[in-house]
């Protein structure tokens, strides 16, 4: 558990995303270079929106907490033009990029999710895309999720696309078998745990199955972070090779528990 005091780490987060905004602009690689991850997150989010639309038989109100440069909001708002989308972004640099898109049916504000969410709307679906892990104090992570829960409608859902420690342990055990060094979370990440997810019931959030397997990206992570690294000859492409892409597509997804990034869905009751 991080011992950083609430707010004392803001310069780490803001400094990192200032660089991200400068280097990536409106590009879809902003905040994540691996585009299989981005594609999988969008597929998971779209599947959950479709399911909720069928359940409620109406267009939805959806909130992106930590919307970054607005790439995900721009994509899903096009796929679901009848829904009303909202976004929060803590980084002023990414907020400026997101609002510069001028996306129809999307309202974005500059806001810290450790504070009460100010929209006068109860949401059918709220999602985070590797955002809670950017909060480097465990107490603050719980505060953010509590704020999310308070803005959900009854039977509203929270989709957490976040990174977990347990699967990182599994990934590193596989890497050690191949004489590879461990990978560690970035300095701007504090990974979650199963214990964290289980404790969200205190906020009225009860875990339910996701449309896509929670470990959907496990095969991809094993192929790209273990298999490819182990067999790559000296001078071979370091990452995102055709070989890695081939095996990710050729093998079934969700084998093992090697992807730190997982999909977890909670319903407010």
Q: What is the CATH number of the domain that holds 116?
A: 3.40.50.150
In a domain, 229, yes or no: no
Dist CA 4 CA 140 (whole Å):
10
Instruction: Give the mean pLDDT of 225-236.
Output: 96
Instruction: Give the mean pLDDT of 212-231.
Output: 98
State residue 114's pLDDT score: 97
Q: Does the pTM of the predicted model rise above 0.85?
A: yes
State residue 126's pLDDT score: 98
The percent of residues in the chain predicted with pLDDT above 70, rounded, is 99
Instruction: Give the mean pLDDT of 130-137.
Output: 98
Does the pLDDT of residue 3 top 80, yes or no? no
**Domain extent for 128:** 10-165+187-218+259-268
State residue 105's pLDDT score: 87
Instruction: Give the mean pLDDT of 17-23.
Output: 96
In a domain, 27, yes or no: yes
- Cβ partners under 8 Å of residue 96, min gap 6: 21
Does the pLDDT of residue 7 top 80, yes or no? no
Neighbouring CB atoms inside 10 A of 72's CB total 24
Comparing CA positions, the residue from 103, 105, 152 lying closest to residue 127 is 152
In a domain, 239, yes or no: no
Give CA separation, 199 vs 89, 129, 142, 260, in Å. 25, 20, 9, 19
State residue 242's pLDDT score: 96
State residue 1's pLDDT score: 55
Contact between 95 and 70 under an 8 Å Cβ cutoff? The reply is no
In a domain, 63, yes or no: yes
Count up the domains in the chain and report the number: 1
Does the pLDDT of residue 256 top 80, yes or no? yes
Q: Which two structure tokens, joined as six digits, stand for 125?
A: 């679906």
Dist CA 171 CA 12 (whole Å):
26
In a domain, 170, yes or no: no
The full 3-state SS of the chain, as one line of letters, equals: CCCCCCCCCHHHHHHHHHHHHHHHCCCCCCCCCCHHHHHHHHHHHHHHHHHHHHHHCCCCEEEEECCCCCHHHHHHHHHCCCCEEEEEECCHHHHHHHHHCCCCCEEEEECCCCCCCCCCCCEEEEEEECCHHHCCCHHHHHHHHHHHHHCEEEEEEEEEEEEEHHHHHHHHHHHHHCCCCCCCCCCCCCCECHHHHHHHHHHCEEEECCCCCCCCCHHHHHHHHHHHHHHCCCCCCCCCCHHHHHHHHHCCCCCCCCCCEEEEEEEEC
State residue 6's pLDDT score: 75
In a domain, 85, yes or no: yes
Does the pLDDT of residue 77 top 60, yes or no? yes
Instruction: Give the mean pLDDT of 186-213.
Output: 97
State residue 2's pLDDT score: 63
In a domain, 17, yes or no: yes
Instruction: Give the mean pLDDT of 185-207.
Output: 97
Comparing CA positions, the residue from 18, 103, 106, 20 lying closest to residue 64 is 106
The larger pLDDT score, comparing residue 200 to residue 3, is at 200
In a domain, 2, yes or no: no
Model pLDDT for residues 33-56, shown as the tens digit of each residue: 999 999 999 999 999 999 999 999
Does the pLDDT of residue 152 top 60, yes or no? yes
Neighbouring CB atoms inside 10 A of 118's CB total 10
Dist CA 91 CA 10 (whole Å):
10
Does the pLDDT of residue 98 top 90, yes or no? yes
């Amino acid at each position: 558990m991080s011992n950083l005091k609430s707010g004392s780490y803001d310069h780490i987060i803001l400094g990192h995303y200032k660089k991200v905004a400068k280097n990536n602009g409106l590009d879809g690689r902003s905040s994540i270079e691996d585009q299989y991850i981005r594609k999988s997150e969008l597929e998971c989010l779209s599947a959950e929106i479709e399911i909720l639309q069928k359940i409620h038989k109406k267009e939805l109100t959806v909130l992106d907490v930590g919307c970054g440069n607005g790439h995900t909001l721009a994509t899903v708002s096009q796929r679901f033009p009848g829904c009303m989308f909202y976004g929060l972004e803590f980084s002023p640099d990414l907020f400026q990029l997101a609002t510069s898109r001028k996306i129809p049916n999307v309202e974005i504000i500059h806001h810290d999710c450790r504070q009460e969410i100010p929209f006068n709307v109860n949401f059918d679906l709220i999602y985070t895309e590797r955002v809670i892990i950017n909060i480097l104090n465990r107490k603050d992570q719980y505060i953010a999720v509590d704020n999310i829960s308070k803005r959900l409608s009854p039977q509203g859902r929270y989709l957490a696309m976040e990174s977990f420690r347990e699967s990182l342990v599994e990934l590193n055990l596989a890497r050690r078998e191949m004489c590879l060094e461990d990978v560690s979370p970035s300095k701007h990440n504090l990974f979650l745990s199963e214990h964290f997810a289980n404790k969200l019931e205190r906020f009225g959030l009860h875990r339910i199955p996701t449309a896509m397997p929670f470990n959907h990206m496990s095969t991809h992570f094993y192929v790209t972070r273990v298999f490819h690294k182990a067999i790559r000859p000296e001078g071979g492409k370091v990452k995102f090779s055709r070989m890695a892409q081939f095996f990710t597509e050729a093998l079934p997804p969700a084998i093992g528990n090697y992807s730190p990034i997982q999909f977890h869905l909670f319903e407010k009751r």
